[in-house]
Amino acid sequence: MRKTLLTIAATCMWLAGTTAFGQGKTCEEAAPWSNMAMVMDLASYADGGAWYKITPTANSMLPFSLTELPTSAVQVFKGCNGEKALVMSEEVASGNISYYIESGVEYMIKLDVSQATGSFVMAMATPLDLSNAPDGNYCVKPINASVGMYSSIKANRPTWFKVNIVYPGMYSVGSGFSVPAEGAAVTSVKVKSGDCGAVENSSNLLMPNQVYAKAGENFFCVTCSGDMKVLFQMVSPVASCPNHPERMTALSAGVEVTYPNAVYENYWRFIAPETATYQILDKAPQGTILQVGTLDENDDAKFFCNFENGLMAEVDESGEGKLLVDMQAGQTYVIASETFNMLAEGVPSVKISKDETGVRSVSGSSRDIKVSKVAENEYRVSSYLLAEGAGVYVYDMAGRAVSSLNVRPEGDAVTVKLAGVPAGTYMFLIVGRSKSASTKVLVD
């Protein structure tokens, strides 16, 4: 018993000694990370948090195990003014969270001790080199695959694949024409569109092998009940701006139409029955982008979506996005709605109806965001929403993302670099914790 007490006492003395010089009170004062941190004097770090720094020598996973601290209180950034590092996994109940850190990059670790649930906090994390990890184990180290090509997968091992998709739609992952072993089947599919930090779309129990995916680069996580070969396929052709827009689902005035609750892009067409002002109402997650353009025909008699002189709005914190559009009788219009970083609490829907109010303006959110050019290809984005921690996104008038940045909750301004971006009109969007704001900017 005496030996045990002495061991505990020695450990506490060692820990207490490390806390005297183990962390900084600001990012600039960050102390080197040494795989474990313990903060006992919480009051001294309550305002700015306890700060540390680490520069990995290989692409690594940094898995935190926490005591008396929620996972939301641990944040990792690229430098003092950089974006937040990618969260690889998070288990709120058990107090574990893992970040992805890249070789040669200095990262800053912040422990927000103001969220402590006890009289002290402790965090442990040892970088795990991912260079020798098998391909497919993590989203950041996927197996390259293609639509229409077979890939092998092991039983009960969630495996990540990177697949480039031309057209948005519902995709299936299954055995295709091959015959799997008895009992082998796809049991679940998840997909992140764009990058590993995106919100996941997941399959359901009724269709465990099907999931919605956007056009572009997608990261699929596939789980099977047995060893098998899987094939990525589009379930059925979905008409969209990139794919036969003249076949898009037609909307009727006054009829509300629901659409999938997924991080996804949806398209419709509407032929104006008369010359009038129409209101388009999009009920969707905050930050969803609503656009209206025209369906035009080129010299080769092919139809295309024209958003050059179109209108754009975002869904605000109320869960609604609205546009008032002056339409000409007989003209075909394109309505596009794209969700980015969250799912709806209910079922999203869109409705177009003739406006009878006579109100000719829609309240915007540009008052909550200011954008100014500070240097060649550099723009300063200012908003009180940035102080909450927010995402800053830039889109062209076709709805394509040209820049994205995650901002940590400090300061009210950030610089966005747009090198190589063609001159034109772009939408700057901030998605904060309390609301979102957007404005259009002419980039020259």
Domain that holds residue 176: 143-234
What is the residue-averaged pLDDT of the chain?
86
Specify whether 98 is located in the same domain as 23.
yes
Give strand ranges (E) for 74-140. 74-78, 86-91, 96-101, 107-111, 121-124, 128-129
Q: How far is CA 180 from CA 29, 190, 220, 224, 409, in A?
A: 57, 21, 20, 11, 50
pLDDT above 90 as % of the chain: 50
Tokens at 304, concatenated: 């295309």
How far apart CA 335 and CA 269 sit, in angstroms, is: 6
Closest CA relative to residue 390, chosen from 342, 341, 432 = 432
Structural domain includes residue 300: yes
282-338 tens-digit pLDDT: 999 988 889 899 999 988 889 999 987 788 888 887 888 888 889 999 999 999 998
Indicate the number of domains in the chain. 4
pLDDT in the model for residue 425: 80
Select from 354, 386, 408 the last residue of a domain. Answer: 354
Range of weakest confidence among 122-126, 304-308, 359-363: 359-363
How far apart CA 52 and CA 397 sit, in angstroms, is: 41
Whether 8 shows a pLDDT value over 60: the answer reads no
pLDDT in the model for residue 398: 64
pLDDT in the model for residue 18: 36
Whether 358 shows a pLDDT value over 70: the answer reads no
Specify whether 324 is located in the same domain as 421.
no
Tokens at 378, concatenated: 């550099």
How far apart CA 300 and CA 294 sit, in angstroms, is: 17
pTM for the full predicted model: 0.72
Structural domain includes residue 11: yes
Specify the pairing of strand 390-396 against strand 289-297. unpaired
Specify whether 125 is located in the same domain as 6.
yes
Helix, strand, or coil (residue 71): helix
**Neighbour-count burial for 9-25, b at 16+ CB within 10 Å, e otherwise:** eeeeeebeeebeebbbe
Specify whether 251 is located in the same domain as 349.
yes
pLDDT in the model for residue 20: 37
Q: How many other C-beta atoms are found inside a 10 Å radius of the C-beta of residue 187?
A: 17
Our CA dihedral for 344, 289, 217, 80, rounded to 10 degrees, sits at -90
The domain that contains 75 carries what CATH number? 2.60.120
Select from 82, 104, 129 the last residue of a domain. Answer: 129
With beta carbons less than 8 A apart as the criterion, state whether 302 and 276 touch.
no
Specify whether 25 is located in the same domain as 113.
yes
Mean pLDDT across 364-382: 79
Closest CA relative to residue 400, chosen from 196, 168, 170 = 168
Q: How confident is the model at residue 208 (pLDDT cuts 50, 70, 90)?
A: very high
Specify the pairing of strand 31-32 against strand 50-54. parallel
pLDDT in the model for residue 286: 85
How far apart CA 174 and CA 304 sit, in angstroms, is: 33
Structural domain includes residue 109: yes
43-79 tens-digit pLDDT: 889 888 999 999 999 999 999 999 999 999 999 999 9
Helix, strand, or coil (residue 341): coil
Higher pLDDT, 373 or 59: 59
Whether 269 shows a pLDDT value over 90: the answer reads yes
- Chain centroid offset of residue 342 CA: 8
Q: How far is CA 53 from CA 37, 85, 128, 290, 406, in A?
A: 12, 13, 16, 41, 19
Specify whether 276 is located in the same domain as 344.
yes
How far apart CA 65 and CA 125 sit, in angstroms, is: 7
Whether 12 shows a pLDDT value over 50: the answer reads no
Beta-bridge partner residues of 304: 296
Specify whether 57 is located in the same domain as 77.
yes
Select from 354, 382, 399 the last residue of a domain. Answer: 354
The domain that contains 377 carries what CATH number? 2.60.40.3080
Specify whether 77 is located in the same domain as 98.
yes
Helix, strand, or coil (residue 11): helix
